[in-house]
Amino acid sequence: MIVLTAVLVAVGVILTAPPDPGTRLRELLRRGGREESARSSPLRLLHLLRRGGGAEEAQSERLWAISAVENCAHLLKVGMTPQAVMATLSRQNEALSPISRAISLGEEPGRAIATRSANLPAPAAEVLAGMAAVWTVSERSGAPAAEMILRYAAAQRDALDAERERQIAMAGPKSTVRVLSWLPLIGIGLGLLIGVEPVELITGLPGQLSISGGLILYVLGRWWMRSMMLRAQR
């Protein structure tokens, strides 16, 4: 019994141990570094576009799309035509080949990007659809398309950085929720260590009332903490 209790307490301590903030920060930085390096690898970018959902994949796809928008703006600023710009970008990433072909056939750049990017994953398609809208409005209003697209890319990158900062800020509260969720298990293990008999506690009326009330409060607490975290992430 003592060995089993010790094992339960050890497992509870391991499960409740929050990740070291420094380790969590280094992990996020390494993840960001991998995403930045993916910008220069067409095969890696295409692989990311074909992957499924998930927060990390969504951020990678958004980062790729933002990089493509920035490259598009810079190429337009040096005087390249929309057709040449998209041809250059499609050589870097095959996912943009349908857009390049549509523009080479005479379709307007904004319309071609908006319609052909719909087949991409949702995060990348959303970024490119925004660029298409900016490009169309700039052409119809006479504003410089390159400058407008570059500002749009900067706004998208700021939004992505803010999302990463929210994830880092929420790492601590998530660890606290995990610790509080496992406290009842640790309490049972500590009770066994000091000689409490769980069977006698459960079979008695006071014990049953305490357990029932504890379960209700546990569920309400979990719901409350989850609601607060969801509101904080918005």
What pLDDT score does 35 carry?
46
What pLDDT score does 151 carry?
93
Q: Are residues 145 and 65 in the same domain?
A: yes
d(CA 121, CA 139): 27
Domain of 80?
39-161
Q: Are residues 157 and 43 in the same domain?
A: yes
More confident residue, 28 or 183: 183
* 180 domain-assigned: yes
Q: Are residues 150 and 180 in the same domain?
A: no
d(CA 151, CA 147): 6
For the chain, the domain total comes to 2
Q: Are residues 126 and 209 in the same domain?
A: no
pTM as predicted: 0.58
What pLDDT score does 152 carry?
93
* 33 domain-assigned: no
Last residue of a domain, one of 106, 126, 161: 161
* 15 domain-assigned: yes
Angle at 42 between CA 39 and CA 46, to 5 degrees: 100
- Beta-carbon count within 10 A of 120 CB: 21
84 confidence band (pLDDT: 50, 70, 90): very high
Cβ neighbours of residue 145 closer than 8 Å, sequence gap 6 or more: 76, 134, 135, 138, 139
Minimum mean pLDDT range among 132-146, 189-203, 211-225: 189-203
What pLDDT score does 48 carry?
38
What pLDDT score does 10 carry?
52
